Amino acid sequence: MTALDPEKRYRIGEFGALVGLSTYTLRYYEDEGLIRARRDENDQRYYTVNDIGWIGFLLHLKGTGMKLTELKQYVKWRAQGDQTIPQRRDLLEQVREASLAEIREREASLKVLSHKIDWYDGKLDHQIADNESFAEYLSQFSDQD
Amino acid sequence: MTALDPEKRYRIGEFGALVGLSTYTLRYYEDEGLIRARRDENDQRYYTVNDIGWIGFLLHLKGTGMKLTELKQYVKWRAQGDQTIPQRRDLLEQVREASLAEIREREASLKVLSHKIDWYDGKLDHQIADNESFAEYLSQFSDQD
DNA sequence: GTAACCCTTCGAGTCGACTCTAAGGCAAGC
DNA sequence: GCTTGCCTTAGAGTCGACTCGAAGGGTTAC
């Protein structure tokens, strides 16, 4: 069991590599108020393993399709304490619905794409094209190809 | 049963409303070689119900996350006839994999977001915050909030 | 007949989220 | 002592996919 030292200071470059963000992006996020970094006696930023949690959470939110502006609003509310929990909850709920809708749309599109791949596979299987059944097959998707 | 007239000519504005694209976008796609429009004796574009199929298919491909550049390549190959079927198939396959990977990532992110919503709901239920269990709960996600 | 629509070219603007450069300067490791 | 990394501010550049505007002119619908 290698225990990670909670005191270890990661400088911005090292930390960026750890969380998968460039130094540019880390500073950019800091400018935008999404994250904070502590500073050493020479004003150089440093992070600890503790900071991974929050950034990971942020990246998950971003991964749902949440925009930076929304993230900024969220962080702002968070800084205002527990009385903004309803707003934060509602924002996340709204993001969740939008994200689920996008997934559903994408899945529908993927279905069409997959059928097309299947059709290509069929066409590749037996070189003799049966254009009659092709047209029939395609009519399922209102796809003229 | 209202049969739609396959001869009916839709001008660009009407057709755009039908497929959910602006006239700008339709002309743009045409410039990019993705679609074609017939012209009347005065060089005005027109479309028929027949054109809906291809555009719908395109929009489905786009809906999987396929980029315009990829779409353009696809259309180019399509114009070259059946000998490019393997390339087209492979391109679609590649798009499919990328798209599925994105869905999986988004689903993982959504799980985190949903847990957070649940947690807010719990917190809203009983006003007395139990910070001990909160920290415990969050540690699941390596989320410091 | 007049408003609303369509045509062309061509270039500029928008949005989102970075990404990088410049300029000038400190700091740490080998 | 020199390379590499970090600091600042401020602004420019990138990518993708539109979106719009101007200019100048034809067309369609009521």
Collect all residues of chain A within an 8 Å Cβ-Cβ radius of residue B117: 89, 92-93, 96
The pLDDT > 90 percentage for chain A reads 79
CATH top-level class for A1-63?
mainly alpha
| Residue A3 confidence (pLDDT) | 62
CB B57 within 8 A of CB A141: yes
Query: Chain A residue with minimal CA distance to B140?
Result: A53
Query: Is pLDDT above 50 for B143?
Result: no
* Amino acid identity for residue B23 in this structure: T
Q: Which residue has the higher pLDDT, B9 or B131?
A: B9
Collect all residues of chain B within an 8 Å Cβ-Cβ radius of residue A89: 117, 120-121, 124
| Residue A144 confidence (pLDDT) | 41
Collect all residues of chain B within an 8 Å Cβ-Cβ radius of residue A85: 120, 123-124
Token code pair at residue B6: 């396959």
| Residue A143 confidence (pLDDT) | 43
Q: What is the mean pLDDT of residues B50-77?
A: 96
Nucleic chain C: which protein residues 93-122 of A have CB below 7 A from it?
A: none
The predicted-structure confidence for B2-38, as pLDDT tens digits, reads as follows: 567 888 999 999 999 999 999 999 999 999 999 999 9
Which nucleotide C1' is nearest B14 CA? C5
Q: Are the beta carbons of A96 and B117 separated by less than 8 Å?
A: yes
Q: Where are the domains of chain B?
A: 7-63, 65-145
| Residue B125 confidence (pLDDT) | 72
Report A:1-40 residues touching B (Cβ under 8 A): none
Q: What is the mean pLDDT of residues B126-140?
A: 52
Per-residue confidence at A122, pLDDT binned at 50, 70, 90? confident
* Least confident piece of the model among A89-103, A104-118, B28-42, B113-127: B113-127
- H, E, C per residue of B8-73: CCECHHHHHHHHCCCHHHHHHHHHCCCCCCEECCCCCEEECCHHHHHHHHHHHHHHCCCCHHHHHH
| Mean residue pLDDT across chain A | 88
Q: Which residue has the higher pLDDT, A91 or A145?
A: A91
Token code pair at residue B70: 């990829």
CB B142 within 8 A of CB A56: yes
Q: Are the beta carbons of B110 and A64 separated by less than 8 Å?
A: yes
| Residue B131 confidence (pLDDT) | 53
Does an H or E element contain B135, and which? helix B131-139
CB B96 within 8 A of CB A117: yes
CB A79 within 8 A of CB A56: no
Q: Cα(B127)–Cα(B104) distance, rounded to whole angstroms?
A: 35
Q: What is the mean pLDDT of residues A101-106?
A: 96
| Residue A145 confidence (pLDDT) | 42
The predicted-structure confidence for A33-88, as pLDDT tens digits, reads as follows: 999 999 999 999 999 999 999 999 999 999 999 999 999 999 999 999 999 999 99
| Mean residue pLDDT across chain B | 88
| Residue B87 confidence (pLDDT) | 95
Distances (CA, A) of A5 to A47, A48, A49, A145, B143: 12, 9, 8, 60, 18
DSSP one-letter code for B97 = H
Q: Alpha helices, DSSP H only, in A8-84? A: 12-19, 23-31, 49-63, 68-79
| Residue B130 confidence (pLDDT) | 52
Name the CATH topology of B7-63. Multidrug-efflux Transporter Regulator; Chain: A; Domain 2 (1.10.1660)
Query: Is pLDDT above 90 for A103?
Result: yes
